[in-house]
């Protein structure tokens, strides 16, 4: 591996001079700078970013903490963050927290040790106090942590209302809901939107809501229990696409056809929703735009182009995409 000493020897200068060129610090004559840059190019020298970050106590890296990398929503979000970060000159460290408070704190510690310049986080357990202690810019995405924190979310309640109304427009008379993780803000908002539409119906009771964990397996179980409890259900709104796919599977296991016997709508708009049979009707979040905006917001804060008192709470709109499951 080529070292900074090799570059210095090749250019006929000191290691300190090469360091000044690399870090763009201190005076270096133009001829000397050109010699160093030529040596770097000829030797194909790559600076040790870890060593540089330890020396400068900052890096060109940002952290991204997500709760569940197996949920296709988050890889799609991560792709947008990475694409945008690279365009803006930053690298990304991806951390999967599993909604575990200790694991999340461990990642925060590691990211600080790596001198990341900022963090994008999707968390239901992180506190405002934890973020204040980081002393670097943080942007929350998909979930609200505190009112003063820069945040990118979508119209969760509105989207849930759209989904439930759409099922009604398709002739569904008894609509159930597969809820996401209890206590997660977007799951609560989507449940509120569902109840806003059907809460006043004479048939409605809380038992028309089943509880999942934003994953397929819990949704299959929740849907089977829901349909066994209320066999009259002819429509289901699931709080995310993965749970909607689980609901389709459960319906078939109980001998029900989708959409002939039961119509199903999800929420997210992940790419996988187009690959299922039947293809899934869904409330589509602008996933890529969310990741892009969060990254640009974070970089603006890191580079002090934007301050905390500027507009930093963005709610993006959603749209309903009709496919075969309804």
The pLDDT, as a whole number, for residue 220 is: 97
Can you give the length of the chain in residues?
326
C-alpha 164/C-alpha 265 separation (Å) is 8
Strands of the sheet with 138-141, listed across from one edge: 91-96, 61-66, 118-121, 138-141, 151-154, 313-316
The pLDDT-based confidence of 60 (bands split at 50, 70, 90) is confident
Local confidence band at 147 (pLDDT 50, 70, 90 cut-offs): confident
Is 90 exceeded by the pLDDT of residue 9? no
First to last CA, the chain: 59
Nearest to 95 by CA among 86, 104, 83: 104
Number of H helices, E strands in the chain: 12, 12
Q: What is the reported pLDDT for 4?
A: 82
Which two tokens mark 272?
């996988």
Antiparallel, parallel or unpaired: β 151-154 and 313-316: parallel
Quote the pLDDT of residue 307: 55
Q: How far apart are CA 51 and CA 152, in angstroms?
A: 33
State pLDDT tens for residues 189-246: 999 999 999 999 999 999 999 999 999 999 999 999 999 999 999 999 999 999 999 9
pLDDT recorded at residue 55: 46
| Band (54; pLDDT cuts 50, 70, 90) | very low
3-state secondary structure of 14: coil
| Omega within 30 of 0 (cis) for the link into 41 | no
Spatial distance between the Cα atoms of 244 and 226, rounded to a whole number of angstroms? 13
| Tens-place pLDDT, residues 274-302 | 999 999 999 999 999 999 999 999 999 99
> CA 179, CA 212: separation in Å to the nearest integer?
6
| DSSP alpha helix (H) spans, 12-155 | 15-23, 30-43, 49-56, 73-87, 101-113, 128-134
Task: Identify the pLDDT of residue 153.
Answer: 96
pLDDT band at 59 (very low <50, low <70, confident <90, very high): low
Q: What is the pLDDT of residue 160?
A: 98
- Give the model's pLDDT for residue 321: 98
- pLDDT of the residue at 286: 97
Helix (H) or strand (E) holding 229: helix 216-229
Segment 79-108 mean pLDDT: 93
The tokens for 170 are 């398709």
In sequence order, what are the residues at sequence separation of 6 or more whose Cβ sits closer than 8 angstroms to the Cβ of residue 171?
A: 234
The pTM of the whole model exceeds 0.85 = no
Distance of CA 60 to the CA centre of its chain: 21
Condensed to tens digits (0 to 9), the pLDDT of residues 94-131 reads: 999 998 999 999 999 888 888 899 999 999 888 888 88
Write out 115-180 in H/E/C secondary structure.
CCCEEEECCCCCCHHHHHHHCCCEEEECCCCCCCCCEEEECHHHHHHHHHHHHHHCCCCCEEEEEC
């Amino acid at each position: 591996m080529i070292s900074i000493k090799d570059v210095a020897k090749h250019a006929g200068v000191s290691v300190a001079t090469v360091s000044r060129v690399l870090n763009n610090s201190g005076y270096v004559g133009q001829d000397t700078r050109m010699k160093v840059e030529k040596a770097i190019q000829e030797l194909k020298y790559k600076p040790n970013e870890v060593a540089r970050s330890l020396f400068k106590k900052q890096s060109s890296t940002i952290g991204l903490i997500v709760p569940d990398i197996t949920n296709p929503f988050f890889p799609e979000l991560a792709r947008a963050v990475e694409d945008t970060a690279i365009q803006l000159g930053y690298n990304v460290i991806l951390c999967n927290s599993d909604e575990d408070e200790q694991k999340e704190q461990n990642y925060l510690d590691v990211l600080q040790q790596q001198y990341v310049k900022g963090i994008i986080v999707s968390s239901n357990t992180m506190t405002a106090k934890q973020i204040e202690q980081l002393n670097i810019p943080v942007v929350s995405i998909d979930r609200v942590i505190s009112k003063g924190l820069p945040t990118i979310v979508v119209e969760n309640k509105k989207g849930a209302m759209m989904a439930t109304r759409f099922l009604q427009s398709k002739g569904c008379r008894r609509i159930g809901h597969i809820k996401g993780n209890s206590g997660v803000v977007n799951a609560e908002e989507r449940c509120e939107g569902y109840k806003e539409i059907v809460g006043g119906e004479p048939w409605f009771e809380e038992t028309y809501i089943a509880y999942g964990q934003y994953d397929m397996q819990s949704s299959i179980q929740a849907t089977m229990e829901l349909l066994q409890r209320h066999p009259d259900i002819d429509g289901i709104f699931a709080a995310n696409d993965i749970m909607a796919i689980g609901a389709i599977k459960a319906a078939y296991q109980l001998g029900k056809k989708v959409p002939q016997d039961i119509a199903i709508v999800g929420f997210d708009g992940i790419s996988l929703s187009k690959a299922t049979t039947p293809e899934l009707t869904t409330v589509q979040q602008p996933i890529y735009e969310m990741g892009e905006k969060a990254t640009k917001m974070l970089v603006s804060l890191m580079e002090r182009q934007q301050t905390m008192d500027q507009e930093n709470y963005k709610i993006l709109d959603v749209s309903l995409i009709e496919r075969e499951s309804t």
